[in-house]
Every structure is written in C-alpha cells, then in structure tokens.
C-alpha cells in the first residue's frame, strides 16, 4: 500500500484487529509515519509475526513485537495482588493493569524511532482512554496523544463497524471482524474480559452467552477435588505444586488449573470513570486462586494492625489503578509501602478446587504468628484468662461513661 509523504511520526498501540488496522491507515492518510507496536501480554494470537506483516503491508513505517508478559505480572499485577485490591470489591483489574504497561512499551519505542505522537484505539465512552492518556502524560508530558474515536471527523467517517469493514475491504486490509459478534472481548495472561452487545441486557445470564476462553462453567468442571499448592516469598508467588517459575509462568499454570475447575468467573455492573455504569464479564482463574492463597498466608504471617491498614488502603489502590493513575506520586508511595509490608508474607498454601469453589487444605510458614498453644480452647499455661478482666473493663469504660450520661432504652 502506497503511503503519503509524511512529516509527522506516531507510534500506535496495535493489535491487528479491526479498529487498530483502520486507525493505522487513517493516520497515514493524515500524514503520519506510523510505527506499529504490538505489546505481547499473553493475548491469544495465531501468528504474531503475521500481525506485523499486516501492519507493514498497510503502510506502517515499522512494526515490532514487545513481550511484556512477565513485566505485567511481576511489576504490576503482583503488587496489586499484595494489596488484595479489587475494584468495587469484585473486579481484579486485569485490563486496567495492562494499559500502563502498553503505554510504557509504546513510549519507549517512540523514543527509539523519534516519534512525537502516541495513538491508541480507545473510545470516548470507556475507561481505557483515560488510562492510556494519563500514563502517557506522566511518562512523556510532551508527547502528542491521538485518540481517533474522540475526533469528530473520524467518527463521521466511521459511525459503525460496517463502515470500518468496508474501509478495510477498499484498502484490501484483511480482517476477521464480522457484524454478527454478540459482544466484544479483550484478553491477556491475567484475564479475559467481555462487554457490550448482548451483555448490555441485565436480564441475560452472561455466563451462559459468552464463549469461555480460559475456563468452564462450574457445573461442567470435573466432579472431583483437585489440590494445588502455591508458595510465596515476601508476598510474591514463586512456585506452583513445588515447581518454581517466573511470574507469567505461574499465572499461566494457575489459569490452566483454575480454568478446568470453573474458578474465577466474574459478573459485575461497574461504575466507569466517565460516569456511566457498564456490565462486564471476566474470566480470571489464575488471579482468583492467587488472591485466595495470598490471603491465607497473610492470615498467619501478617501483623493485625498492618493488615487492617492495608485493607483500608486496598479500595484506594483499586480505584487508583482502575482510573488510570498508575504513574502518580500516590501510587509510588503505595507501592513502596506494600513492598515493605509484605516482607514476612512467605509460606505455602494448599487449596482444594472443586466446581468453582476454593477450600483451604493447609497453610504453613516459617514466619507464622499463629501459636496453637495460645489459641487453644483447651486448658493451657500460655494465656492467663484472669488477665482479661482488667482488659475488658478498660475496653468498656467509654461505653459505660456514655451509658450513664445518655441512657439507652433496653
């Protein structure tokens, strides 16, 4: 495909799908040299090199693959796990965590090729536009950010998928998109997300209509318990079933184990940053297992007051990540805090998985604060119950004084 003489240069977060294929050609038409960056986060793809060839055939000045799977898990997902952070108590943030990684990789490429702009395919209705933009602004305040879906002329040219498909046909761009897909999806090694289309109807059971990619419905899981052991070192998972591995290897192994047992299917109506509610379906078998296992190790190794402080911070972390403020002073401080707090969180948990359920078999740690001799309800010499008399009396003192001054009805 012949491209126009360009005086401007942009990197593009490129997937090879319908939207980014159209955006690549549209940017060229706008006079940009386009450098396509396919950030490999473990999303399913038949042939990544074919994706690069497609970008070049469409006129890209360059195209490259950046493998950031291990970085995504090690430096982004695991710290969020250590906070036990879930957006609105449910969502494990698999998509939100990925966006600052993609932006970091794209802006590094921009430095290398001398590009002055960064383009992405996020819409003006969703959260991702904020995540891409905020990350880019923090990493390179001088970068021009191009969001075609916020461009009136672009939307007039492409009011819907049918126009985009026709555009690709005219440009001889091969795409797999059709007009019949009942929902949209996004994948990486942490999770698969589904939204839009038929999922916008709240009276539809999402688990019944989506084609699961990482797991099975709990009722279709094997009718037997499967045990899995997970070992942590300072809050970071380092081994599954006794076998050590890198971060992404651990996630992928747990995805397989959890997926076949129907673990980690999430259905949520969440509050987007832009102000609307959106229904999302998520598959996160590996991360769901890790959250459960990590909490079990913390229960025996984490100081009470420190755990309660962390738990109060968890919603703040989830919101910060969800809104796109990964690269911020607040997040820097929170990450420093959790690194220090997690130092004693080491040990091994054995979990029983059964048809979507996670049941604790055992937990062990050299740093355990659990004292069986002190905790027992049997007779013991470790704890003198007479000491509790004064303790309880002091604890009840404020209530006693208030009760005298402001009597309550009985």
What are the structure tokens assigned to 83, written together?
């906070």
Please tell me the least confidently modeled range out of 144-148, 207-211, 311-315, 357-361.
Answer: 207-211
What is the 8-class DSSP label of residue 72? I
| Count of CB atoms situated within 10 Å of the CB of 296 | 23
The yes-or-no verdict on residue 6 having pLDDT over 90 is: no
The SS3 of residue 226 is strand
Q: Are residues 165 and 232 in the same domain?
A: no
Same domain (yes/no): 22, 139: yes
Total domains, the chain: 2
Lowest mean per-residue pLDDT among 61-65, 172-176, 213-217, 365-369:
172-176
* Of 128, 215, 346, 365, catalytic: 128
Residue 335 burial class via C-beta count within 10 angstroms: exposed 0-12, middle 13-18, buried 19 and up: middle
C-beta separation of 147 from 19 below 8 A:
no
Q: Which sign does the torsion angle of CA 74, 121, 86, 212 carry?
A: negative
215's CB contacts (< 8 A; 6+ apart) are: 258, 259, 260, 262, 263, 264, 265, 283, 285
pLDDT in tens, 36-65: 999 999 988 768 888 899 999 999 999 999
Q: Among candidates 95, 105, 117, which has minimal Cα distance to 283?
A: 95
Residues 57 and 157 in one domain: yes
Which residue is listed with tokens 């012949």?
A: 2
Is 318 within a domain? no
The DSSP H or E segment spanning 40 is strand 32-40
Share of the chain above pLDDT 70, in %: 95
Angle at which helix 304-323 crosses helix 128-139, to 10 degrees, equals 100
Domain presence at residue 125: yes
Q: Do residues 252 and 105 share a domain?
A: no
pLDDT of 3: 45
> Does any domain span residue 192?
no
Instruction: Reply yes or no on whether 184 is catalytic.
Output: yes
Q: Do residue 244 and residue 129 come from a single domain?
A: no
295 is catalytic: no
Give the residue with greater pLDDT, 258 vs 186: 258
Q: CA 364 to CA 346: how far, in whole Å?
A: 9
Of 171, 197, 228, which residue constitutes the final position of a domain?
A: 171
Question: Which whole number is the average pLDDT over 324-353?
Answer: 98
Domain span at residue 17 reads 8-77+95-171
Mean pLDDT lowest among 124-128, 137-141, 144-148: 124-128
Q: Is there a contact between 218 and 355 (Cβ–Cβ < 8 Å)?
A: yes
- Output the domain CATH number for residue 254: 3.90.1260.10
pLDDT at 45: 73
Shared domain check, 234 and 165: no
Give the pLDDT score at 383: 77
Predicted TM-score of the model (pTM) = 0.93
Handedness of CA 303, 304, 306, 307 (dihedral sign): positive
Whether 259 and 113 map to the same domain: the answer is no
Domain identity same for 155 and 226 = no
Which residues are within 8 A (CB) of 359 and not within 5 positions of it... i.e. 6 or more apart?
225, 351, 352, 353
196 lies in some domain = no
**Do 112 and 56 have their domain in common?**
yes
- Is residue 406 assigned to a domain? no
Q: Which residues of 144-154 are buried (b: 16+ CB within 10 A; e: fewer)?
A: ebbbbbeeeeb
pLDDT at site 380:
67
- Report the C-alpha gap between 64 and 45 in whole angstroms: 15
Flag the least confident range among 148-157, 307-316, 345-354, 355-364: 148-157
Nearest-10 Cα torsion for 13, 212, 197, 20: 20
Compute the distance between CA of residue 308 and CA of residue 314 in angstroms, rounded to an integer: 10
Q: pLDDT category, 181, cuts 50, 70, 90?
A: low
34 & 152 share domain:
yes
Q: Are residues 259 and 120 in the same domain?
A: no
CATH of the domain at 145: 3.40.50.620
Residue pointed to by tokens 């989506």: 210
Q: Which of 10, 19, 33, 131 is catalytic?
A: 19
Q: Does one domain contain both 236 and 161?
A: no
pLDDT of the residue at 376: 67
Between CA 138 and CA 132 the distance in angstroms is 10
Task: Give residue 201's pLDDT.
Answer: 94
The answer to whether residue 19 is catalytic is yes
In a domain, 42, yes or no: yes
- Find residue 282's DSSP bridge partners: 193, 266
Of 260, 253, 257, the C-alpha closest to 239 is 253
Model confidence at 178, pLDDT cuts 50, 70, 90, reads low
Catalytic entry in 99, 131, 310, 363: 99
Sorted by sequence, the CB contacts under 8 Å of residue 242 that are 6+ apart come out as 229, 231
Cα separation values, 53 from 16, 49, 61, 106, 185, Å: 10, 6, 12, 18, 23
Mean pLDDT of the chain: 93
Report whether 19 contacts 168 (CB < 8 A): no
Confidence of residue 182 (pLDDT cuts 50, 70, 90): low
- Say yes or no to pLDDT of 274 above 80: yes
Whether 252 maps to a domain, the answer reads yes
Q: Per the residue annotation, which of 47, 162, 184, 371 is the catalytic one?
A: 184
Residue-level pLDDT at 354: 98
> Among 171, 112, 172, 110, which residue's Cα sits nearest to residue 136?
110
In this structure, is the dihedral angle defined by the CA atoms of residues 359, 365, 370 and 371, taken in order, positive or negative? Answer: positive
* 44 in a structural domain: yes
| Cα radius of gyration (the chain) | 25
pLDDT for residue 179: 59
HSE on the CB side for 99, CA within 13 Å? 27
């Amino acid at each position: 495909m012949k491209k126009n003489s360009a005086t401007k240069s942009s990197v593009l977060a490129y997937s090879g799908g319908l939207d980014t294929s159209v955006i690549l050609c549209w940017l060229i038409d706008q006079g940009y040299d386009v450098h396509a960056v396919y950030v490999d986060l473990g999303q399913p793809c038949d042939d990544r090199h074919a994706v690069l060839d497609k970008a070049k055939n469409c006129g890209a000045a360059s195209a490259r693959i950046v493998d950031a799977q291990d970085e995504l898990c090690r430096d982004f997902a695991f710290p969020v796990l250590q906070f036990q952070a879930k957006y609105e108590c449910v969502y494990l943030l698999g998509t939100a965590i990925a966006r600052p990684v993609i932006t970091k990789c794209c802006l590094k490429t921009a430095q290398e090729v001398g590009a002055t702009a960064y383009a992405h395919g996020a819409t003006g209705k969703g959260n991702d536009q904020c995540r891409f933009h905020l990350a880019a602004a923090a990493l390179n305040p001088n970068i021009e950010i191009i969001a075609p879906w916020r461009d009136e002329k672009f939307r007039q040219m492409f009011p819907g998928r049918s126009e985009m498909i026709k555009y690709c046909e005219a440009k001889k761009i091969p795409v797999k998109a059709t007009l019949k897909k009942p929902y949209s999806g996004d994948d990486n090694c942490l999770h698969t997300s589904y939204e839009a289309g038929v999922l916008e109807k709240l009276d539809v059971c999402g688990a019944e209509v989506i084609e699961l990619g990482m797991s099975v419905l709990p009722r279709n899981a094997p009718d037997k318990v499967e045990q899995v052991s997970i070992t942590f070192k300072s809050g970071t998972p380092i081994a599954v079933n006794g076998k050590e591995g890198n971060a992404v290897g651990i996630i992928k192994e747990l995805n397989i184990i959890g997926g076949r047992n129907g673990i980690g299917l999430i259905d949520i109506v969440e509050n987007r940053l832009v102000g609307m509610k959106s229904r999302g379906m998520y598959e996160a078998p590996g991360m769901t297992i890790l959250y459960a296992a990590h909490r079990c190790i913390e229960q025996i190794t984490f100081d009470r007051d420190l755990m309660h402080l962390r738990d109060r911070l968890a919603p703040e972390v989830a919101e910060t990540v969800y809104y796109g403020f990964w690269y911020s002073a607040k997040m820097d401080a929170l990450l420093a805090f959790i690194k220090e707090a997690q130092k004693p969180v080491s040990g091994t948990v054995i979990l029983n998985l059964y048809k979507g359920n996670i049941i604790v078999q055992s937990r062990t740690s050299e740093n355990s604060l659990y004292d069986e001799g002190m905790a027992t309800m049997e007779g013991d010499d470790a704890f003198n119950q007479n000491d509790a008399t004064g303790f309880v009396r002091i604890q009840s003192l404020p209530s006693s004084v208030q009760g005298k001054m402001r009597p309550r009805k009985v």
